[in-house]
Amino acid sequence: MTQLSIKRIYEPASPQDGTRILVDRLWPRGVTKDRVDLWLKDLAPSDALRHEFHGHPDQWQTFRAAYAAELGSAPAQAALAVLRDRIAAGPVTLLYAAKDETRNNAEALLLWLDGRADPVQE
């Protein structure tokens, strides 16, 4: 079984990270390109959804449901195919820049990939 994890991009890289994939729409401030193996910005929430969640972090379940719906778009599906290929090849770490380490788009994506997309189930 391949390991899939998430990590804040500002944390040091480690050999266990495997392929490091940035899943944010915007490039993180102060981060050099050598810290990331691949940038799949089409897996990030839309700007509108990102701004909405930023203004209402207490709406985590609403954000997750809206984000799951966005993952059905053609660009997101193409990026998911790339991600699944990378996961099949070895360990993958999804990188994010958000300050909140428990409620961010990488965590929502990980839950969605694990089949826990329905926030009502939690």
pTM recorded for the entire structure: 0.89
Within a domain: 82:
yes
Tell me the pLDDT of the chain (122 aa) as tens digits. Answer: 458 999 999 999 999 999 999 999 999 999 999 999 999 999 999 999 988 887 787 889 999 999 999 999 999 999 999 999 999 999 999 999 999 888 999 999 999 998 865 544 44
Within a domain: 67:
yes
Max intra-chain CA distance, the chain: 38
Within a domain: 119:
no
Within a domain: 29:
yes
Contact partners, residue 63, CB within 8 Å, separation at least 6: 45, 49, 52, 53, 103, 108
pLDDT, residue 2, reads 55
pLDDT, residue 121, reads 42
Domain that holds residue 22: 4-114
